[in-house]
Amino acid sequence: MKDENKNMIEITGQVKNIIFRNKENGYTVFKIKTMDEKNSSEFVCNGYFADIYQDEILGLSGFFFMHKLYGEQFKVLGTKKKMPVSEEEMQKYLASGIIKGVGPKIAEKIVFMFKEKTFDVIENDCEKLLKIKGINKKLALNINKSFVDLERDRNNMIYLQSLDISHGYINKIKKKYGDNLIELLKINPYRLIDEIVGIGFKKADLIAEKSGIEKNSDFRIKSGIKFCLRQVSENNGHVCLPKEILLDNVKNLLEIDLDLIEKKLDEMLKEKLLTEKILDGKKVVYLNFFYLMEEFIAKKILSLNEIIDDLEIKNLDGEIKKFSLKKNICLTERQMIAVKEAIKNGISIITGGPGTGKTTTLKVILGILKSKGFCVELCAPTGRAAKKMTEATGYQAKTVHRLLGINFFDDGEKKIKFDFDENHLLETDYLIIDESSMIDIYLIFNLLKAIKIGTKLIFVGDVDQLSSVGPGNILKDLIESKKIKVVYLEKIFRQAEESLIVINAHKINKSERLELNKSNCKHDFFLINNINSGEIINIIIKMIFERIPKKLGLKNILETQVLCPMKRGDLGTINLNKILQEKLNAADYLKNETVFNNNIFREGDKIMQIKNNYSLEWRIFDKKNICIANGFGIFNGDTGFIKKIDHEQKKIIIKFDDDKIVEYSFLQLDEIDLAYAITIHKSQGSEYKSVIIPVLSGPPMLMNKNLLYTAVTRAKDLAILIGNPKIIYAMIKNKKELERYSGLKFKIKSLCK
């Protein structure tokens, strides 16, 4: 059901019957009677309401549409509450149950006595109500309070609607600020950015402008500075920002004099609202919580790293040889070193590209530790990575979130907490973290809080992959601090040498030309030369439908993943998702669909979660539809399919790749995106049977070898590059990475002095 391009109309009517109401998200289906006495009519409406009462009068804006099951309805997009005017309307309003203690009889008596002055008496002279039989002082005061509260609530609604705030956010704002929301927001609407999830600077700035707040107000400048720091952490992964760059960003955002911004920034630093430090000779500015996180991480890493025990396992060389012989494993000298360093050091890092034996090394470490009775936990940042780790090692691996145990507490808002933290530590001797390049500052902070001194950490990952999607540069900072034992695995094993995917991944990493026709190799890597975006799109479609399924024997065409360098452009994810959706999951009268932010979501669509949501509840069902597991948390990068779209309940049911079933309300659709094509960044930690990588053009800083290397290493059985070879080889030669500002390596170094 598509909602765009409808003719908006406005109507005024009285709520006659509330058919359905979801208290959680405010979605309501109700019958309304229009106020036009000469041509009055009744019809069904649906929309989102902070609150709604039978017999109240509403001004509605929206459009009529034909529901396929229930006929014509009115879709409400905007609401204005109106007070009753006639005595009959007043009586119905009071009798509706909206005021506690007032029923039809009392309502009739009140209106009969005070006529058109009824509401004025209730609000301003409630003692007169004592003249009515059945009303005592307590009830009179209650009627007054209830009426005044309702009037205030109506004024609050009118105020918020005048600011073009949607119903979903109105509910959140009312819950947060209560009765005083108008006064609070008129003073400082920028507080919404910090306190209401989903409201950004642009929206707060529009509200401020409508409220008459000056462009150079203290609130605006302070908020702009903090917003710029948050924005670069979310969009670019920075934990801090050089002062010069921050000032420039804020100036571009606020469009005011730089001197005013500098003055306010210095005030915020003096008031310790932000933190300034000198790192590598540069003045950088932190949001306080990022600075404190980095400080904690650096100190905890060094505390854990101090523990070295060569005698933990006697004759370790002999144990390695014995286990290797038993499992018919032949380790290289570098792998032998990796095993020994991992077992004896407080913290160690094993890094290397595809085919260099990281998994084999890990199996030997696990086998020896398990045989000696040590407790070992395995984890990875994402569900896909944890599943891959389990399959590769034969031991159960968990996501970091699941390892820590997600839970919640409620202090007026639902907030996340972990079962394991500084007060309840994980009981394990060793903790192995795979795909460590994906770990961001939030994840490592919470993980380290839950680790007791004496536990040994083993980080496994490919440092040449892209940095984490979230802020921080954890694996690279740990390595570059030069205070942690690092073993690089470089030798490509014979079996891996037979794969052009592996060979070319290493060639990309070394900025060398691709190998396309090597004898005695599996033909699992192809470069298709084409510089026309329209033709490239047609090739992608043909590959997905015909050539790849035929080559790999795939039954499900959706097992091929398109990986794009960018979101925008002809070959970006936005355009390709629309095209591929119509080819792979075309519109059908049997498939429900809904529209959100100009995106069509349809039953059967492949989707991806694009932000962490710790409070989403998931369930796993067996073949008899009995729930066998449940928990909380769906995370950035998790993929799945839309099983069902329910227009009555306004919800979407999604089944994720790990069989988790999750219900989303229509208000949560900003958390998902189509995933027929995804950005290379979002593919980190995942593995696909086949990948198609369209490359035609892009900004030089983005189009580098790390991006291409990450994309190619996502392919298990087949990698296809399509595009302009000149651009592809320019990427391979481009060793520049997008700089990511963080201070962890400097902090670790300084603490060691």
Q: Which has the higher per-residue pLDDT, 630 or 172?
A: 630
Averaged pLDDT, 277-301: 95
Q: b/e per residue, 687-716, with b = 16+ CB within 10 A? A: bbebbbbbbbebeeebbbbbbbbbbbbbbb
DSSP, residue by residue, 45-82: EEEE-S---TT-EEEEEEEEEEETTTEEEEEEEEEEEE
Tell me the C-alpha distance between 662 and 627, whole Å: 12
pLDDT at 99: 78
pLDDT at 5: 41
Report the range out of 205-219, 440-454, 591-605 with the highest average pLDDT. Answer: 440-454
pLDDT at 294: 96
Residue 265 is inside which H or E element, if any?
helix 258-270
Helix, strand, coil shares of the chain, percent, nearest 5, are: 40, 25, 30
Tell me the C-alpha distance between 472 and 464, whole Å: 15
Which of the four pLDDT bands, split at 50, 70 and 90, describes residue 428? very high
Averaged pLDDT, 84-89: 78
Tell me the C-alpha distance between 272 and 264, whole Å: 12
pLDDT at 4: 40
pLDDT above 90 for 60: no
Which of the four pLDDT bands, split at 50, 70 and 90, describes residue 494? low
Q: What is the pLDDT of residues 566-587, one digit of tens each?
A: 999 999 999 999 999 999 998 8
Which of the four pLDDT bands, split at 50, 70 and 90, describes residue 169? confident
pLDDT above 70 for 411: no
Q: Which of 21-35, 650-664, 681-695 has the lowest mean pLDDT?
A: 21-35
Q: What is the pLDDT of residues 441-482, one digit of tens each?
A: 999 999 999 999 999 999 999 999 888 888 999 999 999 999
Q: What is the pLDDT of residues 313-364, one digit of tens each?
A: 778 888 889 888 888 888 999 999 999 999 999 999 999 999 899 999 999 9
pLDDT above 80 for 520: no
Share the mean pLDDT of the chain: 87
pLDDT at 197: 73
Report the share of the chain in percent with pLDDT over 70.
95
Report the range out of 198-207, 476-485, 606-615, 619-628 with the highest average pLDDT. Answer: 476-485
Q: Which of 63-77, 337-351, 630-644 has the lowest mean pLDDT?
A: 63-77
Which phi and psi angles does 175 have, rounded to 5°?
Answer: -65, -35
Q: Using DSSP, state whether 22 is helix, strand or coil.
A: coil
Averaged pLDDT, 598-602: 87
Statement: the pTM of the whole predicted model exceeds 0.85: no
pLDDT at 312: 61
CA torsion 127-129-134-139 (nearest 10°) is -60
DSSP state of 683: G
Q: What is the pLDDT of residues 88-110, one digit of tens each?
A: 878 877 887 777 778 888 888 88
Strands 715-723 and 525-529: parallel
Residue 531 is inside which H or E element, if any?
none
Q: Which has the higher per-residue pLDDT, 725 or 179?
A: 725
Which of the four pLDDT bands, split at 50, 70 and 90, describes residue 25? low
Averaged pLDDT, 523-534: 92
Radius of gyration for the alpha carbons in the chain, expressed in angstroms and rounded: 31
Averaged pLDDT, 385-410: 87
pLDDT at 46: 86
